[in-house]
Structure formats: C-alpha cells, structure tokens
Amino acid sequence: MNQIAKQIHSSDIRDILENSLGGNRPDRADCLRLLESDDVQLMGMASGHITKKRFGITASFVNNIILNYTNVCITDCKFCAFYRSPGADGSYTLTLDEIETRVKTARDMFGIRQVLIQGGHNPNLGIEYYESAFGMIRAKFPEVGVHGLSPSEIDMIAKVEKCSTAEVISRLAEAGLQSVPGAGAEILVDSVKDVISPKKIDSAAWLRIMEEAHMAGLPSSATMMYGHVESNRDIAEHFGRIAELQEKTHGFMAFIPWSFEPNNTLMQKEDPTTHGSGGTRLLRMIAISRLVFDGLIEHLQSSWLTNGIGMAQLALQYGADDFGGTLIGEEVVSCTGARSTELTDAKIVEAISQIGYRAVERDNFYNTVSVRQ
C-alpha cells in the first residue's frame, strides 16, 4: 500500500485513486478523467489492491456451455457476424431434443454448472419454446443453472406475444429461468446505438427490462462492448447508468467489459472500425470497472473470450476476480474468426495457477463449488 501511495502522489489522477482506495467510488466526471489518463498501470495497481483486499489471490470460473439456440435474427446489428435473416442459407433453430442432447452431453463430458442461452431475435419463436426449453433443463439437469436471454431477446418475445416484458419475465422465471445475461447493452447511449444497432431496443428499454428482471427475483450480469464508435464520454455515461440501476435494485451479480471484434461484420466494411482495440484498452476498462463498481457490483470478469488467455491473466491483476466460463459451443464471437472461443476447465485452472492464484469453480450464482488446486 505504501508503494502505491508513493506512485499515486505525482499522478494527475491522484485524487480519484486516493478516494477509491478510501472507499469512495468515482463519479462520471472522475470516470472520464480515468479514461483520458495515461496512468493505466497505476489504475491497475489501485484496482488490483482493492480486489486482493476483497478476494485475496483467488479467481473463480464457471464450467459452462453457450447454447446459441438460433441464429435467425431481424435486428441486423452491424457488429454481429453471427446472425442470419429468416429463411437465409445457414439459418437454424435448435429443437428441444437438440437442446436436451447438447446439455446432456456437456453435463456428462464436462460436468457443467451453467448453460448460457442466447440467440437471435427470431420472430418465429413464441414464449412456449423458451418455457419448454427452460423447464426441461431444470427438470432433467437440476445441477445446471439456466442463465439466459438478453433484454433485447425478452423484448422480442414480448412483441411476438403482444404482451409486456414484465409478463414475459414472470412466465420465464416460473418456467425455470434463473438469471439474465447482460448482452445487448453495448454502450447505453442512444447516439451510439443508432449507429451500431439501430433496430435493437434503446438504452432506456434495456435498463427497464433489467430492472423488471431484478424485481422479479432474477439476478443478472451487466456488460459493455467498447472499441467501435463510442467516445470516452459515452463510456463514462454507460458506467454511470449501470451504477445507478445497481444502487436501486442490487440485482447485478457481475460486470463484463468486452472489446468489439470487427472481423466479418458490416462495421468492418462500412465504418472506420477495422481492428480490435487491444490489450492496453482492456486493462484500462478492467481497472476502471473495479474502481467504479467497488462495493456495488461484486464480481468483474476477465473477458478472455475477446482478448485471449494472456490478457485475462493480466486482467486478474488489474481488478478482475472471475475468469469467466469455459464457453463450450460458443458460436457468436467465433464467427469473427478472431481466436479460439472455448476453453476446458483444466486450461482455465492452469492459466489461473500460472500467475500464482488459486482457482475456484463456482456455480451460476457465484457460489463456490470446489477449490481446484
């Protein structure tokens, strides 16, 4: 701590870091200063210190699969290489039997504790499809948590059913949905969304649906996709809006910042975003996330999926406490061709051990299942 204090003394963000180490979280103006500062390593030292005080040198992970149940989508997001229009070549929707087979195989082969269920905005799927899938998983694989559907997918179901999103959430929770992923947030500023995903729900709707989920007893994660057309001010606003909802509901279990992968997307063809934003940007986002959400959102994931194992190891030292999931069967990011998008639990344990940390396997709700070393 003394070494950190000495280095902070001459920094242009001294006041923010000293306040953070004293338990006072940065506000929007502070966040913007952090985003524009060159002292990324110093931010990492402060956020790493805060994280070690809370978690020691332990890093958790979940043994899971991603179940991309359909790639049929009418939202046409420019940043997505996964979706197919209804009826297009390569479009698919899994049957309930196929879903059961995938979950059973993953449970038997890998001992998964969570299935992350996400897909496209498919106008041909009514709520009964999801109710049947969630109910089947909970009945046949009770040890596997059901973590599924972004707010924008919930909005799509409500449109198909011509009912409210609150009603959709209530029915899905009764059927077996246990928690909600944070996808679809991107950047919670509509001027950004108007460029990258103009057909998707706006920022207010994303926040409202998340609040409805929290009020219905469904915890969730929150995400941020950075590295495209957003400004630092937009990112600061995103952090602020997530923090404000969390102060109200306390429903977010984790925050996950991840970088946009432009390969094979319309944004690569039509916009100036031609390459990823890189490792330094990730570490900055991880460090700021810990400072902004310290004492508010407990867990922060390393974002290995879009940045690789080596950067995830560094992220654990810059403020992350959770490595993420094994993500067996991932199809969305893999469509960019960026890198391998799945890991075994053994590889995650090895990666955590290599930096001198203790690996802990968790369940869907961040409860410890076993200590893995």
Cα–Cα dist 141/367, whole Å: 18
| Collapsed DSSP state (helix, strand, coil) of residue 275 | coil
Is 335 assigned to a binding site?
A: no
Cα–Cα dist 346/3, whole Å: 35
What secondary structure letter does DSSP report for 357? Answer: P
305: which 2 tokens? 């999926």
The residue whose two tokens read 């559907």 is: 149
Kindly list the strands in the beta sheet with 220-226, ordered across the sheet, starting from the edge strand earlier in the chain: 220-226, 252-259, 299-300
Cα–Cα dist 190/52, whole Å: 36
Strands 368-371 vs 64-68: parallel, antiparallel or unpaired: unpaired
Is 163 assigned to a binding site?
A: no
Is 31 assigned to a binding site?
A: no
The residue whose two tokens read 């000495």 is: 6
Alpha-helical (H) ranges within 149-302 are 151-161, 165-175, 190-196, 203-215, 232-249, 266-270, 279-293
Query: Quick check: 364 and 147 in contact, CB under 8 A?
Result: yes
240: which 2 tokens? 């602020």
Cα–Cα dist 66/148, whole Å: 9
Cα–Cα dist 328/315, whole Å: 21
Q: Binding-site residues, please?
A: 73, 77, 80
Q: Binding-site residues for [4Fe-4S] cluster, please?
A: 73, 77, 80
